[in-house]
A and B are shown apart, each in its own frame.
Chain A
Amino acid sequence: MSTEGSPVSKKQKLDNVVTKSTTGGPAAEKLVMTPDLTEFEQRILSLTKQSPKGLSNKIIQHDSPNVSGEERAAAINNLLAQGLLDLYKQGNELLYKLKFDTGEPAEMKGADQEEKVVYDIIGTAGNKGIWMRDIRFKSNLTMPQLNKILKALETKRLIKTVKSVAASKKKVYMLFDLEPDRSLTGGAFYSDQDFEGEFVAVLTQQCLRYLRTKRDTAKLKKSEVGPMAARYMASATLQEISEFIKNLGISKVELSQSDIESLLNTLTYDDSVDVLVKGETKMYYSRQPFGRVMGVDSMPCGVCPVFRDCSEDGPINPRSCVYMTKWIENESYEF
C-alpha cells in the first residue's frame, strides 16, 4: 500500500494487490492480479481508482512531484503493458483509467498490445463481423502488420473469418465463439453461401397446397356454416402453417416463423395467397388473381420471341410461321 508523498527510491515488491472489496469497501472493481509493481505504480493505480472518469498526467505530477518525467512515463508504460491501465484521449489530454477484467481469453494474456487492440476492435463488431478495411482504419496499423496479427489471432482460434452471402468476395472477421448474424449467413435457406432455390420452391409449394386444401374443405361446408365462417375456415395463421411444415419433416434445418412468413410473402407476390386480418391475428388464405382475362397471350404472337422480326413478306411471316403451325395442330407453343 502506498502512502502519499513517499519517494520512489526503493522498489517494493508486492505479492498481491489487495482489492477494496476485501476490506468492505465498494465492490465491483476487480483488478487483474499481477506481481512486481513498484510503489509509484501502485500509487498510480489507487489514484485511477479514485478518478473513475480518468486520471490525467497533471494529477499524477501534482500527487508525486518528486518523480521525474522519465520515471513517470516508465511506470505508466509498465502498467499499460501489463494491461492494468487503459489509455484514452480527451481533446489534447491523455487520460488513464483502470482496466477491468473483460474476461479476455487466456491466450490474449500474453499477446502484445497491437493484437489486443485488433482483438478489441473485432470484439466490438459483435456477430455482424468487421471488414479488414475497417479494422485498418480503426487501428491505424499498416497492411502487412495487420495481416500478421490477424493470422496470429486466427491460429490461436480467437477470431474467424466468415463470408457474407450478400457479397461472396467480402470476408468479415469476428470472435471465434460467436454465431454469425443471419445477414451474413443468409439464414435457413442458404447452404454454404448458396441460395437453395429448389428447397424454397418445395416449401412454398407445400404451403400453397396446405392452404388450397383448407379452401376446398371450407367450400364444401359453406352451406352449413355460412360464407364468412367458411372464409375463416379456409384461412390459416402463421403458426398453423409453421406447424404443418414442421410436421412434414422435409426440412433438416429448423425453420423459424419469420422464415415461413417470408415464404408466404413470396406467395402473395405470386398473387396466389392473400392476407386476412381478424382482430389482431393475421391469417393467410389461397385465392385466384383478380381478372385473369384471356388476352393476346393465348396466341403465339402474344409471346413470340421473334415477334419484332416478323413481317408479311419477310423470312419470318405469319403464313409460314412454325409456332403458329404447332399451335394450330397441337394447342401448345413451345419456343
Chain B
Amino acid sequence: MGTEAKVVLGTLIRNGEINLSKLIFLLTCQHFLGHPPNAPPEGYEVIAKYFSTFTELAKRKYVIRCDHLVRSGSTEVPEFIPYESGEGFIVPNICVKTICGAVMRKDSKVDDISNEDDEILWKINLPVFDTEMRQDLLVEAMYWRVEDSEATMIFKALLQLGLIRNSFAHTTTPISIPELKIAIKKLSDSKYCLEDFNEYLDILANESLGLVVKTSEINGGLYIVKVKEAFNQVTYSMVEKLVETRFGAMAARIFRLVRRHGFVEQDKLMQMGMMSTKMGRSILYKLVEANFIILKEIRKSYTISSSVTNKVVSYIFHIDFVTLLRSILEDSYQAIVNAKLRLKAEKHKYRRLLVKEDRIDKILFNMTKARCSEEQLDEVRAMLTYPERAILNKVRLSISKLTAAQLHADRTLFLINTYFIFQQS
C-alpha cells in the first residue's frame, strides 16, 4: 500500500489509541518536519493524501475503531462496548481547515485539536495482521517447496478465499476453479497468465505433503488447503532446522527418522540413517542430553528353560513434540531478553558517540534549512572524525543485527503459538 500507509500505521502504533483528526495532525506535522507550509493548499494536499490512505486502511480492516464508551446514567459506571461488525471500520469526517490551521501555527499541540470525532478512537486491528502473517508464512513455505511463483500465487489465492470466514479453520472452505481464477487476476492485477493454470494446480495437489486436496469434481473441481497440517509441517521444519544448526546434518536426519517412526530402536535408526554405530550413538547422546529426543527403557524377559529366565533391557527413542516446543518457546523468550540486554549494553558503551552524532545531525539539518554553504556544512561534518565514524558504523551494524535477531526469535514464538492455537482448537 505504499510508504504513506507504513507511516500512518507507525504513528498509530506509537500513539496506541487516537482519534482520526489528531492522527492526521501528527502525520502532517511529521511530513513538514517542524517547518509548516507557507500556504493552506500545501497543507490540504498532504492532509487529503493521509486521509485517503487511512480510509483505504480502514476499508481493508487494518485499523479499527476502539470500543466506544456508553454512558447509561449519571450514577452508573460507563461501559466500553465494541462496535457492530461493519461499524468499526466506518471512517468519520474530519475538518481539514481546522487541522491545516493548527499545522500552520508553530506552537500547536496535538491536544489542541478538537473535532466532532473526538470520541471515536482508532487502533491497529492486530488479528488481521496476525492472519496475514500466518498466510504469508504458509505462502513462503510453499514457495520454497515448489519453487514456482505461479503455483505459489494459486496457493495464496486458495488461502485468502478459504479463510475469509474463519482464519483459524483447520481446512479452508472448498474453492472452485472459476473463483480461483478471478481471485488470481485480482491478486496479480491481471498480469498473471492463466495458460498453465490446471498444471500448476495439479502440481500443488500432487505435492507429497498433501496440503492441497481436490474434494470434488463439481465446477471443474473443488480444492481445499489443510491449514492445520500445513502449520504442523512448518513447525516441524523449524525444529528440524534448529537441530541441524545446533548439532549438524546427521543429527537432523536422526531427528527426522525418530519423528517419522514414532518409537524406534538404535540399531534400526543406524541402519535407516546409514551411519556408523559409533557416530550415531554420540549424536543420539547429544540429542537426548538436550531433550530433543527422549530415551525410553523397555525390559523384556524370555525363558530359555523352566528354571532360566533372561531379562533384556532395550532402549527406544521417541520425541515428545509438545514438551519440546514449550522448551523452545521458553528459550526463544530468553533469547529475546538476551538480545535486548546486549543491545542496551552496546548503546550504553557508545552513548557518547551516539549523542554526538545525533547533535551533529540536528545542526546539519537546521543549517541545510537555513541554506548554509557547503564549506560550513563540511566544517560541521568534520566534528565527527573518521575513526569515530567507523566505530559508529560498527555500532549501527550491531544494533541492526540485534534488532533483526529479536524479530527472528519473535517469528519462532509466533509460529509455536500458532501451532498451539491450532492444536487446542
- A residues contacting B by CB (< 8 A) are 166, 189, 194-195, 197, 200, 204, 219, 226-228, 231, 262-263, 265-266, 269-271, 274-276, 287-299, 301-303, 307, 310, 312, 317-319, 321, 324, 327-329
Chain B, Cβ-Cβ closest to A331: B401
* B253 and A266 contacting across the interface, CB-CB below 8 Å: yes
Q: Does residue B144 face the partner (Cβ distance < 8 Å to A)? A: yes
Measured between beta carbons, the chain B residues less than 8 angstroms from A204 are 274
CB <8 Å contact, B202 and A228 = yes
Q: A194-B276, A197-B279, A318-B338 are in contact. Are A299 and B234 (CB under 8 A)?
A: no
- Interface pair A299/B408, CB less than 8 Å apart: yes
**B331 interfacial by beta-carbon distance below 8 Å:** yes
Q: Evaluate contact between B144 and A295: CB separation under 8 angstroms.
A: no
Contact yes or no, B237 A166, CB < 8 A: no
Residue in B141, B253, B338 whose CB lies within 8 Å of A269: B253
Tell me the B residues contacting A by CB distance below 8 Å.
137-138, 140-142, 144-148, 150-151, 196, 199-200, 202-203, 206, 208-209, 233-234, 237-238, 240-242, 245-246, 249, 252-253, 256-257, 260, 267, 272-277, 279, 328, 331-332, 334-335, 337-339, 341-342, 345, 394, 397-398, 401-402, 404-405, 408-409, 411-412, 415
What CA separation (Å) do A296 and B75 show in the bound complex?
53
* A195:B145 contact, CB within 8 angstroms: no
Q: Can you offer 7 A-B residue contacts whose CB atoms are under 8 A? A: A227-B200, A270-B253, A287-B145, A296-B331, A302-B412, A318-B339, A324-B342
The interface residues of chain B, by DSSP majority, are classed as helix
Q: B275, A293: Cβ atoms under 8 Å? A: no
Known A-B contacts A197-B279, A288-B147, A299-B409; A293 and B342 likewise in contact (beta carbons under 8 Å): no
Q: Which residue from A200, A219, A299, A318 sits with its C-beta under 8 Å from B341? A: A318
Partner of B144, one of A262, A288, A312, A324: A288
Determine if B144 and A289 form an interchain contact, defined as CB atoms under 8 angstroms apart: yes
Q: For B140, what are the chain A residues with a Cβ–Cβ distance below 8 Å?
A: 291, 293
A293 touching B335, Cβ below 8 Å: no
On whether the beta carbons of B245 and A303 are closer than 8 Å, the reply is yes
**Contact, CB under 8 Å: A226 / B196:** yes
Choose from B328, B337, B411 the contact partner of A293 (Cβ within 8 Å). Answer: B411
Q: Report the bound CA distance from A166 to B265 in whole Å.
A: 13
CB distance from B262 to the nearest CB of A (A): 15
A319 touches B342 (CB 8 A): yes
Q: 8 tightest CB-CB pairs across the interface, nearest first?
A: A291-B141, A291-B234, A301-B335, A295-B412, A299-B405, A318-B338, A195-B276, A303-B246
In the bound complex, residues from chain A placing their C-beta under 8 Å from that of B137 are 291, 293
Q: Which residues on B sit within 8 Å (CB–CB) of A166? A: 267
Alpha-carbon distance A228/B331, docked complex (angstroms): 43
Known: A227-B199, A290-B237, A293-B415. A328 touches B398 (CB 8 A): yes
B275 touches A195 (CB 8 A): yes
Are the C-beta atoms of A321 and B203 separated by less than 8 Å? no
**Contact in complex: B276, A290 (CB < 8 Å):** no
| Beta-carbon nearest neighbor of A223 in chain B | B196
**Least CB separation from B348: chain A residue:** A319
Candidates A227, A271, A274; contact of B256 at CB < 8 Å: A271
Partner among A270, A275, A318 whose Cβ is within 8 Å of the Cβ of B208 = A275
CB proximity of A201 to chain B, nearest CB, Å: 9
Chain B residues near A307: list those with CB within 8 A.
331, 334
Q: Which residues of B contact A270 (CB under 8 A)?
A: 249, 252-253, 256
Expressed in whole angstroms, the Cα–Cα distance for A299 and B407 within the complex equals 11
Q: Which residues of B contact A266 (CB under 8 A)?
A: 253, 272-274
Among A226, A231, A295, the most chain B Cβ lie within 10 Å of the Cβ of: A295
A265-B272, A312-B341 are known contacts. Are A290 and B241 too (CB-CB below 8 A)? no
The interface residues of chain A lying within 8 Å CB-to-CB of B242 are 295-297, 302-303
